[in-house]
């Protein structure tokens, strides 16, 4: 496993703990060179303590300015190394939630694992715990002198202390927000709320690309275009469902099985289980691109990304 290290308590703790648990750990430090001699000293520290490989971003760092852009640059410079572990903690999670709550109105936190192979094993630990770990194991660590001047430094040094004065559980409550299930976009929530509260017998509302909600008295249905893998499907007929094939599926009004339709159409075996079927009740009424049930001709419009 590759550990991305800055020299601070969090990443130093992570590097040491992974090694103590028996992992084969390599370390990489990205030197952005933003603090002159202090940046060089951080790099030297990581190289000597952790045998870290030092990568330099001096050729591209002038093109970025925010902490998020610098983080993305570090991830880009260390691609191709398998799993890359970072020292993000619960304290970082709280700071992220608070910033996103104020800046964009959402509370999405950092993920424990990203699709690009970045993992954050310390997200359940607080910064004070990583510092205590380093002291217990006599591990030196660096302190970034520029931290107070950053966005996180403002949150860490001024805003969170004030929130703790308001309530001692501020950190835990903010951390809990990161674990909440994602909600619908607020504009979409408002549209649906207005539709559901309407006293009109029938009313519809546009929900975004190709989809609309229709309320008829005490029922609500969605109509319009559906994305199913590479397929786009749309229909004006109510109560249709899109799913993949089930054993024994037959096209409504015909004796031939869906499996046989695939064979006749020379659909590769590996694509059949992901092929969409349009169903009304228990009946398959369309196999997009292949066949439609009698009486359902032209009801479902379908195309694949490669078709247009």
What does the pLDDT average to over 208-212?
70
Hey, CA dihedral for 115, 27, 128, 32, is it positive or negative? negative
Q: How many residues does the chain have?
A: 308
Residues 277 and 211 in one domain: no
Burial class (CB within 10 angstroms; exposed 0-12, middle 13-18, buried 19+) of 48: exposed
How far is the C-alpha of 54 from the C-alpha of 119, rounded, in Å? 20
pLDDT of residue 29: 95
Mean pLDDT across the chain: 87
Residues 106 and 51 in one domain: yes
Residues 201 and 264 in one domain: no
Q: pLDDT digit string (tens) for 289-298?
A: 999 999 999 9
Output 297-300 pairs: Cβ under 8 A, ≥24 positions apart.
299/235, 299/236, 299/237, 300/233, 300/234, 300/235, 300/237, 300/240
Q: pLDDT digit string (tens) for 109-135?
A: 888 998 889 999 999 999 999 999 999
Residues 213 and 233 in one domain: no
Residues 146 and 281 in one domain: no
Q: Which residues contact 9 (CB under 8 A, 6 or more apart)?
A: 127, 130, 131, 133, 134, 141
Q: How many domains does the chain have?
A: 3
Residues 204 and 279 in one domain: no
pLDDT of residue 308: 43
pTM: 0.62
CATH code of the domain covering residue 18: 3.40.50.620
What does the pLDDT average to over 215-238?
76
pLDDT of residue 80: 86
Residue 182's pLDDT band (boundaries 50, 70, 90)? Answer: low
Q: Which domain covers residue 221, as residue numbers?
A: 184-225
H or E, element range at 43: helix 37-50
């Amino acid at each position: 496993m590759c550990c991305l290290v800055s020299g601070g308590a969090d990443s130093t703790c992570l590097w040491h703990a992974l090694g103590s648990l028996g992992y084969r750990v390599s370390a990489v430090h990205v030197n952005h060179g933003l603090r002159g001699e202090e940046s060089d000293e951080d790099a030297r520290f990581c190289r000597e303590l952790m045998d870290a490989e030092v990568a330099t971003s001096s050729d591209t760092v002038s093109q970025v300015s925010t902490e998020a852009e610098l983080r993305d640059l570090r991830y880009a410079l260390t691609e191709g190394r398998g799993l890359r572990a970072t020292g993000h903690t619960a304290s970082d999670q709280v700071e992220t939630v608070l910033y996103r709550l104020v800046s964009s109105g959402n509370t999405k936190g950092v993920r424990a694992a990203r699709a690009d192979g970045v993992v954050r094993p310390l997200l359940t630990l607080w910064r004070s715990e990583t510092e205590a770990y380093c002291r217990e194991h006599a591990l030196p660590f660096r302190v970034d002198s520029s931290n107070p001047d950053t966005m996180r430094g403002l949150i860490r040094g001024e805003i969170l202390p004030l929130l703790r004065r308001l309530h001692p559980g501020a950190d835990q409550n903010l951390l809990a927000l990161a674990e909440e299930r994602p909600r619908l976009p607020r504009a979409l929530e408002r549209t649906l709320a207005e539709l559901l509260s309407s006293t009109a017998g029938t009313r519809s509302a546009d929900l975004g690309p190709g989809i609309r909600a229709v309320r008829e008295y005490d029922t609500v249905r969605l109509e319009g275009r559906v994305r199913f893998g590479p397929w786009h499907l749309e229909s004006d007929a109510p109560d249709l469902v899109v799913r993949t094939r089930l054993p024994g599926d037959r096209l409504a009004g015909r004796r031939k099985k869906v499996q046989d339709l695939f064979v006749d159409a020379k659909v590769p075996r590996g694509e059949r289980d992901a092929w969409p079927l349009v169903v009304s009740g228990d009946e398959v009424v369309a196999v997009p691109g292949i066949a439609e049930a009698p009486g359902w001709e032209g009801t479902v419009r379908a195309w694949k990304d490669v078709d247009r």
